[in-house]
Amino acid sequence: MDNVILNSYSKIPKLDVSRETCNDLETLITMIQEKNKKLNIISKKMHVKEAIRERHIIDSAQIIDFVNLNYNTTCDLGTGGGMPGLIVAVVMKKIKKSMRINLYEKSYHKCAFLKEVSKKLNLNTEIIHKDIYTVKNIETGTIMSRAFKPMPAVLNIVNENFKQYKNIIFFMGNKGRKILNDVLQDWDLDFEEKKSLTNKDSFILNIKKIKKKIHEDNFNH
């Protein structure tokens, strides 16, 4: 394992940078590169390993300190090609092996890829080939959402479809501050945030509680 690669992963707080973990993540990058030739896992423009490592792997892994370890399941909504779910599953092999990552994805072909990676890397995952909108009474610890639906839509899904959860992690991009301010007009949120390691204009949001506001004008209709 190249020391440059090891050093790139070492900047993530609380990440076990063992060679085994790094090897798994590098194997995942190779599998993404190969599958992306036929299936839209990530942007077709992003084919260099270093770019995938920074933009997707490290970006996903940086949330690890927000994942609640007191529960045995973590949920990734609309995981797509497995970011952040697969990356969190790789890291959890060293941190908490009993933690199962539930990956919700409605695309059959992407589910097949998720299963292929999980088998290859011996990950504790459950690939759920369903549209998250149709699943009710879900119980989990941490909920993760990265490049899935707009934030208000995800909050509605959590509010209506989850029976129990501990926290929700959002990846907020360049327009994240405005999005959050707009959301706070309709939702009361108990949250904390930290700067992104991969983009100076982005941040990670960790929400502990949500409550939809009742506006006075709602009673006038």
Measuring CA to CA, how many Å separate 72 from each of 114, 154, 166, 170? 20, 22, 12, 20
The whole-number average pLDDT for the span 43-53 is 84
The whole-number average pLDDT for the span 86-97 is 94
The predicted-structure confidence for 18-29, as pLDDT tens digits, reads as follows 888 989 999 999
Statement: 66-220 belongs to CATH 3.60.10.10: no
Distance CA 45, CA 30 (A): 15
Buried b (16+ CB within 10 A) or exposed e, 126-155: ebbeeebbebeebebbbbbbbebeebeebb
Beta strand spans in 90-146 (E): 100-104, 125-128, 138-139, 142-145
The predicted-structure confidence for 164-212, as pLDDT tens digits, reads as follows 999 999 999 999 999 999 999 999 999 999 999 999 999 999 999 999 9
Q: In the chain, pLDDT over 90 holds for what percent of residues?
A: 79
Q: How many residues does the chain have?
A: 221
Give 3-state DSSP helix, strand, coil % of the chain, rounded to 5.
Answer: 40, 20, 35
Domain ranges of the chain: 66-220
